[in-house]
Structure 1
Amino acid sequence: MRPVLPALLLLSAALVACRPQEVRAPDAYPLSGTVAGRWGDSPRLRLALIGTGVPGAVKNDSTIGQNLVSSGLNSWQFGFELPAPGVFNVAGVYQVVAFDDANNNAQYDVGETVARNRKWLVVSPTDANIPAVTLPAFLGGGEALPAMTVRSGWNVYDQSQPLGSTNPVPFTTLLGYDLSR
């Protein structure tokens, strides 16, 4: 009877891991906002976390939990589940983008219509001074972020605002991460 108990525990853990992710209202996710713009007829809108670790580990992930719902003509609300900061062992600079998954492969591909903003999500395993970053070509390349000081976990850097004591700023929940094209 004893060998059966560990097997049952292992089976129940596997079943819990395989269950579908819970879909929540957009504002119940750690990152939420709106998507605006013209996308044409019947777009296949998805969200992806794209960016790069420091140095050089490129990420393009649209399998992260998300909810994107229409809120009117050419307008959507979204919620996005950011990975726990502890899964990153190096600092990184990322954006969540909306894209029309034209080839339906559930991944952002260069050439697909995309919406983004000027806010960067900077994650760090510790409080740190991050060096300046130049982005890979598939993210537009050539756009460099300045050297900055960040706190452990997720931080948001708004390029439209001056770098300072409140930019970047750490967060656990970020509302108003609006995307447009």
Structure 2
Amino acid sequence: MRSVLPALLILGSLSACAPQGVQAPETYPLSGRVSGDWGSNPRLRLALVGTGIPGVVKNDSAIGQNLVSGGLNTWEFGFDLPKPGAFNVAGVYQVVVFDDANNDTKYNVGEKFARNRQWLIVSPVNGNFAGVNLPDFLGGAEALPAMTLSSGWNLYDQSLPLGAGNPSAFTTLRDYDLSR
């Protein structure tokens, strides 16, 4: 009689690698509320958009997420962020919500969207971030100032003064609200 132990070990290891199912919004590393008028029957979806330094553009809506209706024009959401170790360069990102009008699960220019003034900055190391300027053909203005970052994910809130906890490192971020 052949042993079934190797087969059970293989099945067990495969199921451990399977993606997690949909979870409650507050169990994701990033969560918040979506609000505003999105019209009738919107197909809301979230995407991580931004760029690595230097210029690796990301527009990824295939990341685990959950949007749950909270009543008229409000939704609670949870969103998985890539593990900081997946990045070998610093990057500046935002999570946006969009109405996936063509139902292709990707944010396309022209679809209704909302974002906030909070930037998610990932850094592979502790240290100083030189800042980001717009290209000269877009005016060359400063998009993000120079700042000190911790290794991993950092939150920079443009509506608050730089310094004294802004930016701040995080592993779990609540109240990342998005509104139209």
- Indicate the TM-score class for this superposition, using the shorter chain for normalisation: 0.7 to 0.9
User: Counterpart of 1:159?
Assistant: 158
User: Counterpart of 1:68?
Assistant: 67
Q: Is residue 53–residue 93 contact of structure 1 (8 Å, CA) maintained in 2?
A: yes
* Secondary structure of 2:62 counterpart: coil
Q: Paired residues, what number?
A: 174
Shift of residue 10 of structure 1?
5.3
* Secondary structure of 1:99 counterpart: strand
Give the letter aligned to residue 118 of structure 1.
R
Shift of residue 142 of structure 1?
6.5
Distance 1:176 1:116, change over 3 A: same
Is it true that 1:120 corresponds to 2:119 in the alignment?
Answer: yes
User: Counterpart of 1:109?
Assistant: 108
User: Counterpart of 2:56?
Assistant: 57
User: Counterpart of 2:144?
Assistant: 145
Pairs within 5 Å for 1:158-177: 158-177=157-176
User: CA–CA distance in 2 between the matches of 1:29 and 1:67?
Assistant: 9
Give the letter aligned to residue 37 of structure 1.
G
Runs (5+) with no aligned partner, structure 1: none
Pairwise CA RMSD: 2.2
* Secondary structure of 1:86 counterpart: helix
User: Counterpart of 2:85?
Assistant: 86
Shift of residue 124 of structure 1?
0.6
Runs (5+) with no aligned partner, structure 2: none
Query: What are the superposed Cα offsets for residues 28-81 of structure 1, whole Å, 9 maximum, x if unpaired?
Result: 111110001111111110000110001100011111111100001000000111
Give the letter aligned to residue 23 of structure 2.
R
Shift of residue 134 of structure 1?
4.0
User: Counterpart of 2:40?
Assistant: 41
Could you state the TM-score of these two structures normalised by the residue count of structure 2?
A: 0.88
Shift of residue 105 of structure 1?
1.1
Give the letter aligned to residue 144 of structure 1.
A
Distance 1:23 1:41, change over 3 A: same
User: CA–CA distance in 2 between the matches of 1:169 and 1:86?
Assistant: 18
Could you state the TM-score of these two structures normalised by the residue count of structure 1?
A: 0.87
% of aligned pairs identical? 67
